[in-house]
Structure 1
């Protein structure tokens, strides 16, 4: 006859089972749900007050209550889950132990050091009290007393008790199920069976099916499969892939197709607003007359226009195209990474599995062009434009002061490295408030220094590398702000070495005021110009016409 399984009557062992599986869920859930600490903005002391930065701060402040509510909700959920774990631990610690070790001395009501005479005497006394023939006797207790007496007086029984904890010798192991007994009770069977069907027959298949249906539509980068197919089709063609064409390919991502995604829904005002942008002169690099599949679709053309408007710093209607542009820009980094992955696949196919469709591996210029696209989207500038245009209030017509015979300022770091007076003179066409905005943005630019050290850890001479040795390379990366790197004092940005536009002798605004400084008793009343204003006068006299910017490799060019 099969042995009947024992269930947990008191529920103590069930809590052990529940805590084990609950802990496997709770620990990773706490790790992923716990809100991460974000670095506070504005730690450099300078805050840009230009319109885009102010609008961004206002938008972040508007989103802050929702984010705070979401953080509070997550913390509350985590707290409730841990309180539930604490409750289960409390139940385990306070549960009564059903298993008791067999102790014949306690049954005979004796101390463990009792002598043989005391054992016999106590046995005779208790057997008279609990003998079943006596009035008020207890047969079960009498049997326990007899067994305890035998365990202490019989040598074999005593040895079995000492070795195995039972005078009868080793016992058969009993197993049970760590589930409460009400699970198998007849009156609860319908509810248990219903819960089982709900979880394992309805919810679980639906969850797995939903996950599978979604997974077959997306790549590991959480992009649509159709997007990767479009990228592979155009990136594997043996033709020149300029940045202009790569932008068109990126705009053809199916994330922007209304039939596959809701990120970029069509609007009734699109025809009028997009047509106005197409016929304007603000987007000189835009090409909309495309006959190739997917690239000619209206949603792909709209996406391309929004990307070109971003790179050209063209203002868009705030209620329609501007939100769409923000949506496109959020997806662009993932699309660029996917294009790099597709280029790697094309290179592998062309190198190891050539076919008529994929016969030529992509060149290094194509890789560089795709990487420059990421830089362009982040910096909001075309690749052949000066990187200084990233700074607020810096216009294209001001670049002629950056590249002359006397100086050649091509990067933000070179601009910050200048003396305060010379730097202020270079952007003399903007106000002091705008100049502080420029320096506030410069303070967020990093200066990164990378140093490496090679060592052979097991050799006496660690810095001597021999053939076949195991080399350990230590890479140290140091990151500091540009203002800290070049020791630019934020408080002296508008010090005595600078003059506001109202006091500057600028031929553009035609103000001829001077700054008077008493430099000595013999020079009272003489007008002294600051160094940056003298430099300005020299530039006015000797400045060359603006030199054309040299085109970089992979720059945007018109396509036939």
Structure 2
């Protein structure tokens, strides 16, 4: 008779701590606070707030492992990372768990090697939790924008704020900073190899440009790879997504639906079609200006 109420009570207590996205409510409240406090949020500030999520704090998440080796390994990692902002005094951005998570995210984006049995395990766990947290952060900014338009809060978050929050997702998935070359997503390609993509005739900056090269010319550019490595790279490149999209804007129930005037309700319709990059191998009909 006692076991069932105890089990139900335990389940209820745990469930009320999370939002619909299975994100801790304390984390959601923190996102609301900082996004409202900083309506124009730079990218690194958004990353700093993401790293301060309560999911990375052992007091809120029993899956977090605190090791004695952190006392040595984390300070060593901090010394290798510039512009980490570890001297920030804001709570909880200045707390040890937040600084550690921020350092691991910076190391992930910089593709640094970490101790395999300690910090590398922590990095993998933090990265695995980031997609849901980023979705929650974007939702918080969206709600703040709606509240600002309803004049319930004084400051409207800028478009750069929500854009920077959304940029975190591809950055974390690709393990690259925003300003890094997209060619580094390909296997066997490192910073040292980027010089091979630039010559007097061509300057290859994107995956699309690489895919559009004729086969012999592409193999010449990738001459530093052996045949097996080249085949692996081409398989990965061929499976990369390429999105065709078309955007239509119109004012419904208006005589001239293509004219947008002040106060008009505009309907935006977006058509998306996903294909693989292999369909573009050697195809030069798609111009660089169409790349999104």
**TM-score, scaled to structure 2:** 0.82
Q: 2:186 aligns to what?
A: 391
Cα deviation code 1:328-375 (max 9, x no counterpart): 011100110111111122223333244xxx521111111111111101
Q: 2:25 aligns to what?
A: 225
SS in 1 for 2:37: coil
**TM-score, scaled to structure 1:** 0.45
Separation in structure 1 between the aligned mates of residue 155 and residue 91 of structure 2, nearest angstrom: 22
- Cα 1:475–1:264 change in 2 (3 A) is same
Unaligned runs of 5+ in 1: 1-197, 455-464, 489-560
Q: 2:264 aligns to what?
A: none
Q: 1:265 aligns to what?
A: 65
Q: 1:21 aligns to what?
A: none
Cα deviation code 1:399-456 (max 9, x no counterpart): 23434552232211211110122112222233333222221211220223346899xx
Q: 1:409 aligns to what?
A: 204
Q: 1:307 aligns to what?
A: 105
Aligned pairs (5 A) from 1:367-382: 367-382=162-177
SS in 2 for 1:319: coil
Aligned pairs (5 A) from 1:127-166: none
- Asked whether the 8 Å contact 1:312–1:380 carries over to 2, the reply is yes
- Asked whether the 8 Å contact 2:39–2:156 carries over to 1, the reply is no
Separation in structure 1 between the aligned mates of residue 130 and residue 99 of structure 2, nearest angstrom: 15
Q: 2:49 aligns to what?
A: 249
Aligned pairs (5 A) from 1:482-521: 482-486=277-281
Q: Could you tell me how far 1:476 is from its partner in structure 2? A: 6.4
- Cα 1:205–1:363 change in 2 (3 A) is same
Tell me: higher relative CO, structure 1 or 2? Use CA pairs within 8 A at least 6 residues apart: 2
Separation in structure 2 between the aligned mates of residue 350 and residue 403 of structure 1, nearest angstrom: 47
Tell whether 2:222 aligns with 1:423.
no
Q: 1:449 aligns to what?
A: 244
- Asked whether the 8 Å contact 2:109–2:172 carries over to 1, the reply is yes
Separation in structure 2 between the aligned mates of residue 431 and residue 374 of structure 1, nearest angstrom: 33
- Cα 1:475–1:239 change in 2 (3 A) is closer
- Asked whether the 8 Å contact 1:263–1:327 carries over to 2, the reply is no
- Cα 1:450–1:244 change in 2 (3 A) is closer
Q: Could you tell me how far 1:258 is from its partner in structure 2? A: 0.6
- Equivalenced residue count is 270
Q: Could you tell me how far 1:227 is from its partner in structure 2? A: 0.5
- Cα 1:481–1:384 change in 2 (3 A) is same
1:317 alignment partner, one of 109, 112, 115: 115
- Asked whether the 8 Å contact 2:27–2:55 carries over to 1, the reply is yes
Cα deviation code 1:213-240 (max 9, x no counterpart): 1232111111111101111111111464
1:341 alignment partner, one of 139, 144, 156: 139
- Asked whether the 8 Å contact 2:174–2:185 carries over to 1, the reply is yes
Separation in structure 2 between the aligned mates of residue 243 and residue 301 of structure 1, nearest angstrom: 17
- Asked whether the 8 Å contact 2:40–2:158 carries over to 1, the reply is no
1:277 alignment partner, one of 60, 74, 77: 77
Moved more, 432-441 or 204-213: 204-213
- Cα 1:475–1:238 change in 2 (3 A) is closer
Separation in structure 2 between the aligned mates of residue 221 and residue 479 of structure 1, nearest angstrom: 26
2:93 alignment partner, one of 295, 308, 316: 295
- Asked whether the 8 Å contact 1:244–1:285 carries over to 2, the reply is no
Which structure has the larger Rg over C-alpha atoms?
A: 1
Separation in structure 1 between the aligned mates of residue 270 and residue 45 of structure 2, nearest angstrom: 37
SS in 1 for 2:67: coil
SS in 2 for 1:236: helix
Separation in structure 1 between the aligned mates of residue 46 and residue 225 of structure 2, nearest angstrom: 36
Q: 1:212 aligns to what?
A: 12
Unaligned runs of 5+ in 2: 258-267, 284-292
Q: 1:96 aligns to what?
A: none
Q: 2:126 aligns to what?
A: 328
Cα deviation code 1:36-60 (max 9, x no counterpart): xxxxxxxxxxxxxxxxxxxxxxxxx
Q: Could you tell me how far 1:483 is from its partner in structure 2? A: 1.7
